[in-house]
Structure 1
Amino acid sequence: MKQRVAKSATSLKDAIAEIENFRTDINKRLDELEKEVKDTATTIHHDNNKMLKKTETACDNINRSLQASADTLKHLNTNKKTDQLFTELKSAQQQILHNENIAKQLPTTNDVDEYNFEPNHAIKKLLQNEKSLGALRKKEIKQPAQPKNKAAVPMKMTTSRNINVKTSSDTKECHITGITISPQNQLFVADYDNKSIKMIDINSEEIKQLQIESKPRDVTIVTRDTLAVTLPGTIQFISFSSNSLSLKNKLKVDGYCYGISHHQGKFAVTFILPVKLQIMDLKGNSKITVEKDSNGDSIFSDPGYVITNSHSIYVSDEIKNKVKWFNWQGEMIGRTVDIYGPMGISLLDDGSFFVSDAWDNCIYRVSGDCKDRTTILKDVKDLPQAICWCAETSTFYLSTYRSKSKVRYNDIKVYKMV
C-alpha cells in the first residue's frame, strides 16, 4: 500500500513536472519568436532614425547657410554697398541652387518605413481552436511480475568464437570496458585505453571507430541512432548510422562516472568519485542520488556497472562483493549473496540477469530478486569484465582483461545459448 501511495504521488509529481516542462518549452519558443519580431522592429526603427538624422543634419546646414546669406544681404542693403550687394546676391543665388540639389537628394517622408504588427494567424487560430494544453492518459504499463526466487531454466553456452576489435589506428592493446548492442544488431564497445568507441558489424566484423577526448568507461543505447558514453566528469552523446559514428552534445556531471544504463528517458549512472548512484533525465538533471542507507552508512564502496528495466536497477559493487537491487525511487530492495568480484551485468527478458565474476572467472545467471543463482560459464581463461546479452539472437558477448597475453584484450568472446 505504501508503494502504491508513493506511486500515486510520484505519478502526480511527474505529470505536473511534464506539464510545466511543456509549458516552459512553449514559453521559451514564444519568447524566441517574440524576440525575433522585436529585433526586426528595432532594426527598422534604427534604420529610420539613421536616415532621418541624416536629413535633419542636412536641413540644419541649409538653414544656417541661408540665414547667414540673408543676414549679409540685409547688412549690405542697409549700408547702401551696392557693388558688394550685387556680388553677394550672385553668390546667394548659387548657394540656393546648391542647397536645392542637396534637398532633392534627401529622403522624403515616403522613404520612412512605417509598420504595424500582424499576428501569425496560424498560431492565433491554433490557440483559439485548442481546448486543452494536453491530455492525461492512463499509463499502459504491463504490471511487472515479481522476480522469481528460483533460478530460471538452465541455459547452456556453445563453444565461443572471438571478434578481434583492434584496428590499425589503435596505439595500444584494447581494453574493452563497455559493451552494448543496437536493435539493428550493431555491437558497440568502449575501448578505454585507445580512447575510442567502436561499432562492429556482427556479420562482417567490419569496425567503424570514433576517437573521443578521454577514456570511456561504459556505453548504452539511448535511441535508434544515439549512444551515451561515460567519461570522467561527462556523459558524451554519440550519433550512429549503419556506417558512421559522430559526436553530439555532452552533459557535465558532478563526479567521475563509470556505469550507465538508459530506460524510458532516464539514466541510471554510477560514480566512483564520489561514490554514488544517480538517477537523472537526459538533460543531466539529477532526480535521485543514492549514497547512504538509513543509518548514514555508505551503500557502495566501488559501484561499477548498472543495468535497468521498468521496475529495477541493478548495480555491481566489486569491493562489497555484491550486486545491489534498487527501484526507480532509489530504495534498495535486495542484494545478492556474496559474489567474489561482480563486474558486468546484462538483463534477460524474464527479469533475471547475467553478472560476470572477475575473480572467480565465471558468469552467473541471477534471479531478479537476487536470491538464487546458477553458473552459466566457468573457468573463463581471462578475467571477465563487460558483458552483453542479445535476446533476439540468443548470443552472449564478453570482454576480458588482465590476461597474461595482452593480445587477448583485443577479443570479444561470443557465445551462443541453447
Structure 2
Amino acid sequence: MYCEEHGEVCCCTCIATHHKSCPEKSTYSIPDTIDALFNLRDCKQIQSRLRDTLDSMTAIGKSKDDKLEALKDVKNGEIDKVLNYQRALESIIRKAADASRNEIESKYKELEKDILQEKQDVDGYEVSLKESDDKLKKAERNSAQSFVCSKIAEEKMKEVNRQISKQKLRNNDGIEYTFTPNKSLMKYLNGLHGIGMVGKKRIDLYKIKESKDINIKVAGDSKTCCSADCCLTFDNQLLMTDYNNKSLKLIDTNTMTVIDVCKLDSEPFGVCCITDDEAVVACGGNKIQFVSYGYKMEPTRQIKTSHTCYGVTTKNDKLYVTCRGSSLYIHDMAGNLLKTISQDIDGNELFSHSRHVTFTENGDKMYVCDVNRGVVCFDGEDNYQSTFNDSDLNCAVGVCVDGRGNIFVVGFLSHNVVQFNENGKKIGVVIKQDGLQQYPRSICFDQTLNRLFVTKQRSDVVKMFELY
C-alpha cells in the first residue's frame, strides 16, 4: 500500500491503523497502480542521490577512522607527557632525598670524628692512669716513692676531671641528630588528585564573568605602587614585585589582601617561584635575588650578573633572564652563564627590547615578550621557532599561558590583553581598555579557578578577572 498524503509505503494494517484519517483516494494498492506510481526518471534521481549520500557516509566514516587513529596518537602523546613529568618529579624527589641523606651522613661523620677523638683521648688517659696505678703498687714499701707517685697520680686525675667537666669526655647515650619528615609536603601530595590537569584545549575566546580590584598599598610604601611582574605560588597565592617601593608582596587570593612584604635593597622587576618556599627575583643593578617565602618572606642569597636583569623564569634548574635589550640569558642556579640567545640560525636579531618570559606547563615551548616585535617563540630545547604579533597588540610586555593551548599577552600601549593559541594565531581581545584603564605591565593565570591577574604601571591596584 502507498499513502500519497504522507508519501509513505505501508502495509494494509498500517493503512487501516495510522492512515484511516487520510483521504480515501490518497491510498493505493501498489501492485494495482504501479504503472501510475512508478517513474523511472525519479527512481534514477533517487538512486543518484542515494549514491551521493552513501559516498558522504563513506567519507565521514573514513574521517572518523582517521580521527580515531589521530586520537590514539594524541592520547599516547599526552600519556607520554604524564610519564615524563612523573620522571621529572621522581628526579626532584630523589635529589631532595639524596640531599637529606647527604646531610645526615655529613652530620654523623662530624659526630663520629668527635667521638673517635674523644675515644683516643680516653684511651690515652686510661693508659696514663693505669701506669700511675702500677707505680703506686710498686712503691708501696717506699714511702718517699709512694708520695711522689700519689702526687703525680693526683695531678693526672685532676686533668681527667677537668676534661670531663668541660664535656670533652662524655657519655654519648642519645642520638645527636634526627630526621623530621616535611609534613606539609606529604599533606600537599596526599591532597593531589593527579600530577596535573586534564582538560580539553580551549579554542574559543575567554569571556569576563566578573572583575575585582586588589589594593596592594601597605603601610611603609612611600610611593605609588608599580608592579612589573607577578606569579602564582604553588598554593595559588599571588607574588608580585613593586619596584617603586623596592619590595616583594604576597597576596592572599582568597581574601584579596596583602599578607606579607619583603623589602629589598634594589628595584625588583621579574619574579618566579622555584619551589613551594623559594622564589627568584630579577633586580636592578645586574642582580638576581633569591627570597624565602615559606613562613616569613626573607631575602637570602644573591647572584651578580654581567647584564641587566628584567624578566625571569626557571626550568630544569636553570634561570632564563631577559635584559630589556637584545638577548636572553640562561644561568645555572649558582649564577654561572650557560648560554646567551640573541640571533636565529641565519644570524638575524631575535629581540630589540625583551621583557617577560614564560614556559608552557610541560616545558615544550617558551615565549618571550618583545616590546617592538611581539612574542618570540622557542621549542623545549631553546631553539627559535617563530615570532607573532597582531594589530590589536601594541607593546607586548607580559605573557602567560592557560594550560589549555592558549597564551595571554599584555599590550602596554594598547591597554589590553590579547588571547592567542599556541601557534600564535589570534583568538581575540579578552580584556579591553575599558576593563583595564591604562598601562598594564604583567599577567598570570590561575588555571584552577580561571582567574587572570593583571598588574599595572603606577597603580595601587591589581586587577583580578574571573573568566569563563
Tell me the TM-score normalised to structure 1 length. 0.65
* Corresponding residue SS for 2:389: coil
Secondary structure at the aligned position of 2:308 is classed as strand
Secondary structure at the counterpart of residue 392 of structure 1: coil
Q: Partners of 2:437 and 2:325 in 1: how far apart?
A: 33
Aligned runs of 1:375-386 on 2, under 5 Å?
Answer: 375-379=429-433, 380-386=436-442
- In structure 1, the residue matched to 2:74 is none
1:381-392, aligned counterparts within 5 Å?
381-392=437-448
Confirm whether residue 317 of structure 1 aligns to residue 370 of structure 2.
yes
Aligned to 1:156: 207
Question: Unpaired segments of 5 or more residues in structure 1?
Answer: 60-92, 114-139
Which of 407, 410, 421 is equivalent to 1:353?
407
Q: How does 1:19-418 map to 2 (within 5 A)?
A: 30=105, 33-45=108-120, 96=145, 98-105=147-154, 107=156, 152-158=203-209, 160-182=211-233, 184-208=235-259, 209-232=261-284, 233-240=287-294, 244-247=295-298, 249-252=300-303, 254=305, 255-262=307-314, 265-272=316-323, 276-279=327-330, 288-309=339-360, 310=362, 311-318=364-371, 320-337=372-389, 339-379=393-433, 380-401=436-457, 409-418=459-468
Give me the whole-angstrom Cα distance separating, in 1, the residues matched to 2:271 and 2:387. 24
> After alignment, is 304-313 or 278-287 more displaced?
278-287
Residue identity opposite 2:407 in structure 1: F
What is the CA–CA distance in structure 1 between the aligned matches of 2:97 and 2:249, rounded to whole Å? 39
Q: Deviations over 1:37-76 (max 9, x none)?
A: 23432344356658979999x99xxxxxxxxxxxxxxxxx
Query: 1:106 and 1:331, CA in 2 relative to 1: closer, same or farther beyond 3 A?
Result: same
Q: Which has the higher helix share?
A: 2
Letter in 1 for 2:320: V
Offset of residue 170 of structure 1:
0.9
Question: 2 CA distance for matches of 1:185 and 1:372?
Answer: 28
CA contact (8 A) 2:211 2:466 kept: yes
Judge conservation of contact 1:268–1:308 (CA < 8 Å) in 2: no
**Rg: which structure is higher?**
2
Equivalent-residue separation in structure 2 for 1:22 and 1:212 (angstroms)? 28
Question: Is 1:341–1:358's contact at 8 Å kept on the other side of the alignment?
Answer: yes
Q: Is the 8 A contact 2:351 2:373 kept in 1?
A: no
CA distance in 2, matches of 1:206, 1:374: 31
Moved more, 362-371 or 284-293: 284-293
Q: How many angstroms apart in 2 are the aligned matches of 1:239 and 1:39?
A: 36
Deviation at 1:325, TM superposition (A): 0.9
Per-residue Cα deviation, 1:183-234 (whole angstroms, up to 9, x for no partner): 5442222111112121222343332222223221122233344433222422
Cα 1:155–1:40 shift into 2, 3 Å: same
Q: Distance in 1 between matches of 2:122 and 2:299?
A: 40
The match for 1:68 is none
Letter in 2 for 1:378: K
User: Are residues 182 and 104 of structure 1, via their aligned partners in 2, closer, same or farther at CA, if it must alter by over 3 Å?
Assistant: closer
Q: Secondary structure of the residue that 1:45 maps to in structure 2? A: helix
Match of 2:138 in 1: none
Secondary structure at 1:217 match in 2: strand
Q: Unaligned regions of 5+ residues in structure 2, if any?
A: 1-76, 134-141, 169-193
Aligned residues: CA RMSD = 4.4
Question: 1:253 & 1:344 partners in 2: Cα distance?
Answer: 24
Distance 1:301 1:357 in 2: 16
What's the CA shift for 1:364? Answer: 0.6
How many residue pairs are counted as aligned between the two chains? 333
Task: Measure how far apart 1:21 and its partner are.
Answer: 7.4
- Corresponding position of 1:116: none
SS at match of 2:292: strand
Whether the aligned pair in 1 keeps the contact of 2:210 and 2:467 (CA below 8 Å) is no
Q: Distance in 2 between matches of 1:212 and 1:52?
A: 60
Offset, 1:94: 8.0
Alpha carbons of 1:163 and 1:21: their partners in 2 closer, same or farther (altered >3 Å)? closer
Q: How far is 1:399 from its partner? A: 1.5
Deviation at 1:342, TM superposition (A): 0.5
The residue type paired with residue 163 of structure 1 is I
Counterpart residue number, 1:122: none
Matches within 5 A, 1:6-25: none
Q: Secondary structure at the match of 2:377?
A: strand
Provide the residue aligned with 1:81 in structure 2: none
Question: How many angstroms apart in 2 are the aligned matches of 1:277 and 1:416?
Answer: 32
Secondary structure of 2:208's counterpart equals: coil
**1:268 and 1:306 in contact (8 A); partners too:** no
Deviation at 1:410, TM superposition (A): 0.6
Q: Which residue number corresponds to residue 177 of structure 2?
A: none
Residues 32 and 365 of structure 1, relative CA distance in 2, 3 Å threshold = same
